[in-house]
Amino acid sequence: MMTRSPQGRTNRLTRPSIAVAVAVAVTAGVVAAAPDARTAEPTPKLSLIAASTSVTLDSWKDDPGVYLDLGTYLTSENGAFELKVTRKSYKDPVVATQVLRNGKKTTTKALPAGLVKDFSGLPGFAQISVTDAAGKTVLKQTEAFCPNNASGRIRPDAPANSKYPQSCPVNPFTLGSVWGVENGWASNTYAGYYAKPVQLAAGSYTAKISVTKKYRDLFGIANKPQTVKVTVRERSWEEEEGSGSAPRSAAPQSAKSAAGQPGHQGHTGHGGHEGHQQAADAPAASAHAAHGAPARPEAPAARTTGAAPTFNVGHGPYPPAPPALPWALKKESLQRQAFSAAKVGDRPGQTDGSRQAPAARPNAKRPTGRATVPDVPKPDLRSLPAYGITVNDGYEEKAGRDYLAFSANVWNAGPAKLVVDGFRSPGKELMDAYQYFYDAKGKQVGYTPTGTMEWDPRPGHEHWHFTDFASYRLLKADKKESVRSGKEAFCLANTDAVDYTVKNANWHPDNTDLSTACGQENSISVREVLDVGSGDTYTQDLPGQSFDITGLPNGTYYIQVLANPENRLKETNHKNNSALRKVVLGGKKGARTVEVPAHELVNAN
C-alpha cells in the first residue's frame, strides 16, 4: 500500500485564512492608501512587521521542543517582491534574480552569486534573539525566509489573491522556482518546514526579530526589529486525553469521512501522493500503522501561519505531516508520521487544512468522432533522478530479504498540460483511456486512445490507475537491466513544483492533493492531469514496487526512472524520458547497505 503525499502542494489556491489576514492587517498598523502612480518608486518597499505583540507556544513532554513561529511578516508595498530562482542543469549552481515590474516594463536585477544555494528560500534572512525573564540571552539564531510562505493582505485595496505559488519546493532535483510577496501582502518569515525545534523551558521570554544586514542593504529594508513576548507552556498527551477533549491545537476532523469523498483519498495506495490530503484518511494511516506505528499518535502542534511544503514528497507510503503543520510531526519514524497525520490537518479535497481544491472534472461521456492528434502544443514528460534511496526489509515478517526503496518523479516541462480521461463501459473491469489536446485558447481540438485505466482494490489504494505512465528499473554497471519494479500504473497528481519558470507553467495547479482524480470503484469516468511545471512523485517502498536486491552481488548499479515507457502518450520529445541515479550496494544478506553518490552538484540521497 502506498500513499500519495507533501509536500506541495496544494492547488496553490487563495492562500491565507481570513483570520490570519485580519490579524496582520489590524495589528500591523500599516493599512494605507495605494501610492500615487506618478510618484511610485520602481522597486517594492519591504518592511518587517509583527502581527501580534505576544504569542503562546507549546512544548510537548513526549516530544520536547518549541517551534518559533513568532508571527512576524515581511510586507511588500509599492509593487510585488518577486524572485526567479533557477539552475541550468544539475552541473550548475542555483542563481536568483529579482524581477521588477513597473507597468508594462519589466527589468531584472541579479542577486549576488552564491547568495541562494537551493530552493528553500533566502538563507540567513531573519535574526532571532530570545531572552528569558531575567534578561539572559538563551537563544540566538538565523533562519531562511521563503517569500511564498503563508500570507495575507495588509490593506483592503490589495489584490484579492496572490499570483505567486504557495511554499518553496523541497524536491532535491527542483530546476526552477518563482518566489514572491504580492503587492499589499505580507508573508510569514518563519522557516516552517525547514525549521528545527528549540529547547525552551516553560516560562516567559522576549524575542527580538530583525532582518539581517545583508538583506537590508540588498533590498532597502529599514532596520526596525520587532519585539514579541513569548509564553512557552508545557503540555502532555496524557493530560489532554484525561481531560476528555482533544488538544486545542488539533485540527478539526472532517465532517465527511475520507471514504465518503470522491477522488484521491486512496492514494495511500500509490506510494506517496497523499502528502497533501491523506492527513485525514484514517483507514489508510491505520493500515500503515501495521508496519510499526505507535500505540498512540504524536501530539499535534498548534496551527500556525508558517511555511507549508505542500508541493512535495508525492506518493510516499508514509506521508509527511499535513502541510499546514509539517514541522511538528517530522521527528519520529515514518510510521509515526502516517499515524499522526490521520488525526490532524488536511482532509480529502483540502490542501492546507482550510482550502477546498476545485475539481478537475472529467468529461461525462467518451469522445465521439474520429480520433486525431492535431498540431498543437503537447506535454513534455521528463524524469528526475531517483532520491530518498534506502534499504529496508519490505516490512515483511519473514526476515532475510532486502529491498532497495526510492522516490521517483516524472514531471511535465510543457508547453501543454497532460490530460487523460478514462471511460468505463458498463460491467467492464478496465476503463478505456484517452489523451486530450487543446489549442492556444484552451479549446479541445483532438483526442487519441492511450491505453487503459485499472481499479486497484487493495487497502490503501482503492482508486483508478493509468497504466504505463512510468517504469522503474535497476540497471547493472553496464547499464543492462537487472531488476524491474512491478509499479507501472499510476494516478496522476501535481505533487511537486519542479520548474515554474518553463513556458505556460501553472503556479496554481488544482489536483495536488488527490481530491480531483483517481475516482471510486463505481466511477463511470475519471480525469487525471499533470500540469505544466509540476511533477508527480511516487515512493517505491513495498515489495513489488521496490527492488528485491537480496540475491544481487555488491557493486555499482543505476536506478532508472523511465517516463512513458511504451510511448503511448503523445508528447513533444521522447528523448528525455529517462533519468539514471548511481547507487553502490554493500553489506551482507539481511543487512544490505546502499551508498548514494552525489548526482553532479546535487548531494541528496
At residue 26, the pLDDT reads: 38
Which range among 63-72, 258-267, 294-303, 360-369 shows the weakest confidence by mean pLDDT? 258-267
Q: Please, are residues 405 and 387 in contact by the beta-carbon 8 Å criterion?
A: no
Mutual orientation of helices 282-289 and 334-341 as an angle, nearest 10°? 150
Q: Which residues of 7-21 are buried (b: 16+ CB within 10 A; e: fewer)?
A: bbbbbbbebbbeebb
Mean pLDDT computed over 422-449: 89
**Average confidence score pLDDT of the chain:** 75
Q: Which residues of 33-71 are buried (b: 16+ CB within 10 A; e: fewer)?
A: eeeeeeebeebbbbbbbbbeeebebbbbeebebbbbbbb
Q: Which tens digit of pLDDT belongs to each residue from 490-548?
A: 778 888 999 999 999 999 987 665 444 577 788 888 888 899 999 988 887 766 678 89
Q: Please, are residues 539 and 406 in contact by the beta-carbon 8 Å criterion?
A: yes
Confidence of residue 241 (pLDDT cuts 50, 70, 90): low
CA distance linking residue 411 with residue 408, whole number of Å: 10
Q: Is the pLDDT of residue 273 over 50?
A: no
Q: Please, are residues 83 and 110 in contact by the beta-carbon 8 Å criterion?
A: no
Q: Please, are residues 303 and 19 in contact by the beta-carbon 8 Å criterion?
A: no
At residue 255, the pLDDT reads: 28
Please tell me the total number of residues recorded for the chain in this structure.
605
- Cβ neighbours of residue 302 closer than 8 Å, sequence gap 6 or more: 57, 58, 248, 249, 325, 328
Q: Which tens digit of pLDDT belongs to each residue from 134-152?
A: 999 999 999 999 999 888 9
Residue 56 grid coordinates = 503562546
Q: Which one is predicted more confidently, 171 or 466?
A: 171
Q: Is the pLDDT of residue 586 over 80?
A: yes
Mean pLDDT computed over 311-333: 31
Phi, psi of 356 (to 5 degrees): -100, 120
At residue 513, the pLDDT reads: 53
Q: Which tens digit of pLDDT belongs to each residue from 70-112?
A: 999 999 999 999 999 999 999 999 999 999 998 889 999 999 9
pTM of this structure: 0.76
Return the top range by mean pLDDT from 395-409, 436-450, 571-585. 571-585
Residue 375 grid coordinates = 498540431
Residue 152 in 3-state DSSP? strand
Residue 209 in 3-state DSSP? strand
Q: Which DSSP string corresponds to 375-409?
A: SS----EEEPPPEEEEEE-TT-SS-S--EEEEEEE
Which range among 216-225, 276-285, 587-596 shows the weakest confidence by mean pLDDT? 276-285
**522: buried, middle or exposed (CB in 10 Å: 19+, 13-18, 0-12)?**
exposed
Q: Which tens digit of pLDDT belongs to each residue from 281-299?
A: 222 222 222 222 223 333 3
Residue 76 in 3-state DSSP? strand
Mean pLDDT computed over 461-485: 82
Q: Which one is predicted more confidently, 163 or 518?
A: 163
Q: Which one is predicted more confidently, 26 or 186?
A: 186
End-to-end CA distance of the chain: 23
